[in-house]
Amino acid sequence: MPAVSSLRLRPTVAASLLALHALGAMAQTPAAEPAASSGTLATVNVEASADASAEGLTKPYAGGQVARGGRVGILGNQDMMSTPFSGTSYTADLIQDQQAKSVADVLLNNPSIRQARGFGNFQELYMVRGFQLGSDDISYNGLYGMLPRQYVASELFERVEVFLGASTFLNGAAPAGSGIGGAINLLPKRASSEPITRINTGIQSGGQAFVSTDIARRFGPDQSTGIRLNAVRRDGGTGVDGEKRELSAFGLGFDWHSRNVRLSADLGFQDHEIRGGRPNVTPAANLPIPAAPDARKNYAQPWSFSKERDTFVTARGEVDITDNVMAWAAFGARRGTESNALANPTLKDAFGNLSSSRFDNVRKDEVSTGEIGVRGKFQTGPVGHSVTVSAAMYDNKRRNAYATSPTGGLSDNLYTHYDSFMPLTTTSPTVGGNMSDPLLQSRYRSKSIAIADTMSFLDDRLLVTIGARRQNIDQDTYSYGSGLPQSGYESARTTPVAGVVFKATNEISVYANYIEALLPGETAPVRTSSGQAVLNAGTVFAPYRSKQKEIGVKYDGGSIGGSISAFSTDQPQYYVQNGSFGANGEQRNQGVELSLFGEPVKGLRVLGGLTWLDAEQRHGATDGKTAIGVPKTQLNLGAEWDVPGVRGFALNARVIHTTKQYANATNTQVIPGWTRVDAGARYIVDIGNGRALTLRARIDNLFNKSYWSSTGGYPGSNYLVLGNPRTFSVSGTIDF
């Protein structure tokens, strides 16, 4: 296990660290001392604006693990009791205390979400209310397409905002074609009123060590200018045998404000590589799902890898035209490259024998996006109005190429792995494009305009929101080999929204909504996850809409809060049937969600909830069957306890329970339900001279449960993902 001190830093990150410390020296502002109390030693609690907005961040709720609300698309930041939608905003305190390394780690706290994988790769993909949400459809400060597609380091964001339900009116259509069940928005870090000089280092099972730094300062006589820099380097093995990950990430955030103008900007860079990553497994057709192997086992070929490198920049501005009229504009751009050499196996029999082939691909993305808007408030008699008008655009040019080896060229076993040689890739038709210089293969463009009016009645106790977004989508695909146009469409759709909130008391709000999702047309894949060639590969289908209805009740008791909601959402099903890809049915997800959060008694914080789902396939060959990869019940429950009499010491634990999932559309293949327990501890020490040392230890999958954590993910696919083994993590954070 390598020592933390031996951790290698790439020149880019090393230079970033030096710049961070130089910035700290320039400011010459002493850090605030940690606050003391009879029970715990609290870290400095400071607030910062997440972007160029007059509202700033929504306030943390009791316990500090979640916020009182968050961004509701073009409607801006809203308190949880005033919006007709459901969601949760996780804070930086929760991210740090749970040693979360990525978005997926944070979302382990949400009972409406389960983690899966992208099609044939290591992309983090989320099942939200039983529908897919790809990591490339996560927004950054309200803008789509800015983040790395497969993995996002947690050091780059302040909050993780989860919106449950369709959101096309609020955010625009998710460009990668997911997000029917919900949306995720990451908020960047900003300099707070108090200076920050923080270094964090740690190590986990498998020898992966890391070091990160976070420095923020405000400048000027009125603290009008802020700069915040974050950098992280991780390198080493994981708890999975032979799997290694390497990451370098850097983020720079800037903000400035005057009396009526607010500006912010971000520059981000991430370089992430997985070597020997444990792959997905496609089950054999019409055979029972085999028992999960030991969670530490790896059936990856040692030569397999996945690399991605991304650079992005965003800017946002807001100006108060009058006391009641505000306008804003935002812009973003990203350049990303990916390359992979994969060998995703297919099960051949009930004894765990596997067959796979080599699949290589390269991808380059050029993304640009922007939005403008204006919001005005006025009265018409006893009715208050908040009217929002917004326009947005998005453009993604994707270059792609792939190559494969002969099908079935590699053999292996799920329980007794053995390495295979790296086979050569073959010529056409198993090669698409030039691997060293991929041509333009796909272009997606969209533009939209939206308008909404939130009307308030009865002294703001009754709020009614109505609106619509008109969105035009232009999508084309091109030949891998020649770059000539192959298929495409241009189409426009209007998606409405209607929502109502009634504040029955100061503690209870009742809400309902109707909202739709607009998704870009699906593109027929080159092959299925089992290697079957698709007859109409590359065909692009027209956009389609998904309709959602929801009702719910929210409770705010000051120290404890929660909600209960019921929803129903319909979605067309696209999958391969008789060798061709197309809309071959419909999926209807209906469910009930219960959430709980807060600090019911001093020193005890709770977070979690329960979700019941009924995901039924309709109007197809599998009418009445449950959709692939959607469990009936999902439970997440966590608690953190300040140990009495031990100043600064806290214990935490979390239980995650998921019932069985079907691994095929006919429901003849089943993966068992599973329960996982995580535990951790935190100890804060005042080391004098205004410095605090925070020590954290964590054990994920405490009882080393071996289980298939998910099946499916990509629509129509049914590959299996093995859950991670017991993983130990320790870290130390010093605030100077």
Please say whether the beta carbons of 17 and 8 come within 8 A.
no
Name the pairing type of β-strands 139-140 and 182-188. parallel
Q: CATH number for the domain including 479? A: 2.40.170.20
pLDDT grade for 120, boundaries at 50, 70 and 90: low
Q: Is the pLDDT of residue 6 over 70?
A: no
Name the pairing type of β-strands 580-601 and 346-347. unpaired
Backbone angles phi, psi at 58, to 5 degrees: -65, 150
- Percentage of the chain surpassing pLDDT 70? 91
Return the pLDDT at 17.
36
Q: Is the pLDDT of residue 383 over 90?
A: yes
The string of pLDDT tens digits covering residues 559-582 is 999 999 999 999 888 877 778 888
Residue type, 60: P
Task: Kindly list the distances between the CA atom of residue 426 and the CA atoms of 407, 430, 483, in Å, as whole numbers in the listed order.
Answer: 10, 6, 21
Structural tokens at position 729: 């993590």
- The H or E element containing residue 440 is strand 440-457
Please say whether the beta carbons of 149 and 70 come within 8 A.
no
Q: State the distance between the two ends of the chain, measured CA to CA, in whole angstroms.
A: 29
Domain range holding 666? 4-293+308-324+363-400+438-735
- Percentage of the chain surpassing pLDDT 90? 74
Mean pLDDT, all residues of the chain: 89
Is pLDDT larger for residue 434 or for residue 263? 263
Please say whether the beta carbons of 501 and 462 come within 8 A.
yes
Rounded Cα gap, residues 508 and 398, in angstroms: 48
Structural tokens at position 129: 């209310």
Rounded Cα gap, residues 671 and 716, in angstroms: 17
Return the pLDDT at 23.
34
Return the pLDDT at 646.
95
Q: b/e map of 686-717 (b: 16 or more CB within 10 Å)? A: beeeeebebbbebbbbbeebbbbbbbbbbbbb
Rounded Cα gap, residues 423 and 426, in angstroms: 9
Q: Per the domain annotation, does 111 fall within a domain?
A: yes
The string of pLDDT tens digits covering residues 434-452 is 899 999 999 999 999 999 9
**Whole-prediction pTM:** 0.90
The SS3 assignment for 16 reads helix
Lowest-pLDDT range of 193-197, 374-378, 506-510, 697-701: 193-197
| CB neighbour list of residue 386: distance below 8 Å, 6 or more residues apart | 375, 376, 377, 453, 454, 456
CA angle 582, 585, 591 (to 5 degrees): 130
> What string of DSSP letters covers 604-638?
EEEEEEEEEEEEEEESSTTTTPBPTT--SEEEEEE
| CB neighbour list of residue 347: distance below 8 Å, 6 or more residues apart | 281, 282, 283, 284, 287, 290, 353, 354, 414
| CB neighbour list of residue 326: distance below 8 Å, 6 or more residues apart | 54, 318, 319, 320, 374, 375, 376
Rounded Cα gap, residues 502 and 519, in angstroms: 31
Return the pLDDT at 538.
78
Return the pLDDT at 70.
93
Closest CA to 443 of 391, 518, 366: 366
| Candidate ranges 386-400, 431-445, 579-593, 688-702; pick with highest mean pLDDT | 386-400
Chain Cα centroid distance, residue 187: 12
Q: Per the domain annotation, does 274 fall within a domain?
A: yes
Give the burial class of 429: count Cβ atoms within 10 A of its Cβ; 0-12 exposed, 13-18 middle, 19 or more buried: exposed
The mean per-residue pLDDT over the stretch 707-719 comes to 87
Closest CA to 233 of 210, 201, 260, 203: 210
Q: Which residue has the tokens 């039924």?
A: 616
- Beta carbons within 10 angstroms of residue 487's beta carbon: 19
Task: Kindly list the distances between the CA atom of residue 73 and the CA atoms of 60, 140, 146, 241, 304, in Å, as whole numbers in the listed order.
Answer: 19, 12, 16, 42, 39
Structural tokens at position 60: 């943390």
pLDDT grade for 90, boundaries at 50, 70 and 90: very high
User: Which residues share a beta bridge with 327?
Assistant: 319, 374
Q: Per the domain annotation, does 413 fall within a domain?
A: no
Q: Per the domain annotation, does 272 fall within a domain?
A: yes
Structural tokens at position 401: 């190429």
The SS3 assignment for 364 reads strand
Query: How many domains is the chain built from?
Result: 1
Rounded Cα gap, residues 499 and 179, in angstroms: 19
Q: Per the domain annotation, does 244 fall within a domain?
A: yes
Rounded Cα gap, residues 201 and 426, in angstroms: 45
The mean per-residue pLDDT over the stretch 307-331 comes to 97
Closest CA to 98 of 65, 145, 61, 146: 65
pLDDT grade for 407, boundaries at 50, 70 and 90: low
Return the pLDDT at 257.
92
Q: Per the domain annotation, does 302 fall within a domain?
A: no
- Beta carbons within 10 angstroms of residue 460's beta carbon: 11
Q: Per the domain annotation, does 337 fall within a domain?
A: no
Structural tokens at position 417: 């792995």
Q: Per the domain annotation, does 614 fall within a domain?
A: yes
Closest CA to 330 of 367, 369, 299, 363: 369
CA angle 103, 660, 104 (to 5 degrees): 5
Return the pLDDT at 56.
80
The string of pLDDT tens digits covering residues 183-214 is 999 999 999 988 999 999 999 999 999 999 99
Backbone angles phi, psi at 425, to 5 degrees: -85, 155
Rounded Cα gap, residues 116 and 132, in angstroms: 9
Q: Is the pLDDT of residue 40 over 50?
A: no
The mean per-residue pLDDT over the stretch 627-639 comes to 97
Is pLDDT larger for residue 104 or for residue 522? 104
Task: Kindly list the distances between the CA atom of residue 196 and the CA atoms of 20, 225, 692, 734, in Å, as whole numbers in the listed order.
Answer: 11, 15, 12, 10
